[in-house]
Structure 1
Amino acid sequence: MRENKKFEIPQNMERVQKIIRHPAFKKSMRMIEALEKERIFCGHDMKHLLDVSRIAWIETLEQSLDYPKDVIYGAGLLHDVGKYLQYTEGIGHHVASADIGREILDDAGYTPEEIEEICRAILSHRNREAAEKTALGRILYQADKISRACYACPAAEACNWSDEKKTPGVIA
């Protein structure tokens, strides 16, 4: 018979749990959910953030890069967290996400160097040329684009993404 053990968070993911539980993260996710309720295009919900994080982690492993898992997940979870400010105040969500992310990362116990690298990747995740300047930026940019199933989207014809940005099919 199996013992009933309390679920334990792997030690290297404790900071990720602090991100998810952070009041600013929760507020952002509630605001985004409310503002995207009627959105026909792909959204910026927890599923998207986790998809980006997981794809970025796979890419990190495949490329043998030396990033801790919680740094990759920190970038993935926070890259769109400022989207509600783009909707409500016209602030680019990459800029708002880096600003909000900086506070959350600090409170979650990330080092100043990790915070700077994650925020630099968040700031560049919408621009391929800027993202290519750092390994984390490149991975975050690619994971964000690959995470979208444009080839199966019912709103693909109305989407304003360029063909270059749209994911053409299943990426293996």
Structure 2
Amino acid sequence: MERVDKILQHPKYVEYMQRIATDEKDRIFCRHDLQHAIDVARIAYILVLENKLIMKKDMIYATALLHDIGRWKEYEEGTEHTEASAELAADILVDCGFDAEEREFMLKAIRDHRKSGTQSTFLSSIIYKSDKMSRLCIDCNVRDQCKRFANGGKINLYY
């Protein structure tokens, strides 16, 4: 998990997470902070273990930590956050010692993590499910205003 520690301390990662926090300071819905990223990582790792998939723990955690780092670009520039996150994550992954094959696999998962049912890799699917499962919608004070539930959406802790 040494490479994950490097991500958490990487100046660009810290900067991007601070930019997201600034942009979301008045957000009443789910935030995209470090707690969310860690929750997604933990759930993803559990899903990998439960499904007896073979994957390095640090790759799972790194992908989860980086999957939303482009949110600030979406807020400030209108860029789709999945593409922005993959673009921003690429240099961080190089700096933190992930090889080309690992990076390609992880960046594809970051790009595809919002595509329900059409994920191109099992990691995309795991990050998608973990992202959804990480939200405590059942205990949310503004659930009635959330677009997830506007059209009769259901709370599903198990996706």
- TM-score range relative to shorter protein: over 0.9
Q: Which has the larger radius of gyration?
A: 1
Q: Please tell me the root mean square deviation across aligned C-alpha atoms, in Å.
A: 1.7
Task: Note if 1:145 corresponds to 2:145.
Answer: no
Q: 1:80 to 1:74 in 2, by over 3 A?
A: same
1:30 and 1:167 map into 2 onto residues whose CA distance is 32
Counterpart position of 1:8? none
Cα drift, residue 134 of structure 1: 1.1
Cα drift, residue 161 of structure 1: 2.0
Cα drift, residue 157 of structure 1: 1.1
Counterpart position of 1:3? none
Where do 1:21-60 residues align within 5 Å?
Answer: 21-60=9-48
| TM-score, reference length from structure 2 | 0.94
Task: Note if 1:136 corresponds to 2:123.
Answer: yes
Task: Note if 1:67 corresponds to 2:43.
Answer: no
Task: Note if 1:154 corresponds to 2:141.
Answer: yes
2:89 and 2:76 map into 1 onto residues whose CA distance is 18
Counterpart position of 1:103? 91
2:154 and 2:43 map into 1 onto residues whose CA distance is 14
| Letter of the 2:125 counterpart | R
Judge conservation of contact 2:143–2:149 (CA < 8 Å) in 1: no
Which secondary structure state, in structure 2, belongs to the residue aligned with residue 37 of structure 1? coil
Cα drift, residue 34 of structure 1: 0.8
How many residues get paired? 158
Cα drift, residue 108 of structure 1: 0.3
- The C-alpha deviation readout for 1:60-98, integer Å capped at 9, x for no partner, is 111111100000001100000110000000001111100
Identity %: 42
Judge conservation of contact 1:145–1:167 (CA < 8 Å) in 2: no
Cα drift, residue 138 of structure 1: 0.7
Where do 1:74-93 residues align within 5 Å?
Answer: 74-93=62-81
Q: 1:149 to 1:101 in 2, by over 3 A?
A: same
